[in-house]
Amino acid sequence: MRAGSVINADITSSLLESVESGDLIAYGLIPEFVGRFPILVSLSSLSEDQLVEVLTKPRNALGRQYTKLFEMNDVKLHFTEKALRLIAKRAIVKNTGARGLRSILESILTEAMYEIPETRTGKDKIDAVVVDEESAGSVNQHGFGAKILCGEGALDLYLDEHNKESILQRDEKQDAEPEIDSEAPSRVASM
């Protein structure tokens, strides 16, 4: 049952919760087969947060598997939080759930996986591979693939640069917001 959007997937999973044996027979399954099911259980679709957990939390999570794979070639693999969220959103839009995460990651990391064994020495030695929001693309569009960082300490430089940018953007947003007098509500309440 393929749904066109997230709302339809939620509606579909809530409808499947109320399926009974008679519904399966009406759908076309033979009663002898349906009678073999002692219990009917439906599964609901995973949320974005749950898919991000599938990518990162379990002992054999996909993120950890790919990190280990890259470590075999002495290359660090780094995922940003935004990239993980975009990957999860793409799996939701495709309606593939947790099983679709592997193919999405594979499409992002394929080029890097073929590039790493070829360049192992000198300044061209690959230090790290970064999957950020540009790499993951948008919900409906493929990204550019993982970023390959060459040279010793390239990952640290990349992270320092992007942490400074995110701090500057956050400070600019805070400067743009008007300051609110925190004592004003208490003065109003005391009048």
Could you report the per-residue pLDDT of 5-62, keeping only the tens digit for each?
Answer: 555 667 777 788 888 889 999 999 999 999 998 888 877 788 999 999 999 999 999 9
Furthest-apart CA pair in the chain: how many Å?
Answer: 77
Q: Which of 44-48, 92-96, 130-134, 169-173 bottoms out in mean pLDDT, i.e. has the lowest?
A: 169-173
119 closest CA partner among 148, 158, 153: 148
The C-alpha atoms of residue 188 and residue 191 are separated, in whole angstroms, by 5
* pTM, to two decimals: 0.71
pLDDT above 90 (res 109): yes
Residue 128's SS3 state is strand
- Domains by residue range for the chain, with CATH: 1-45 (no CATH), 48-163 (1.10.8.60)
Phi, psi of 149 (to 5 degrees): -105, 125
Residue 79's SS3 state is strand
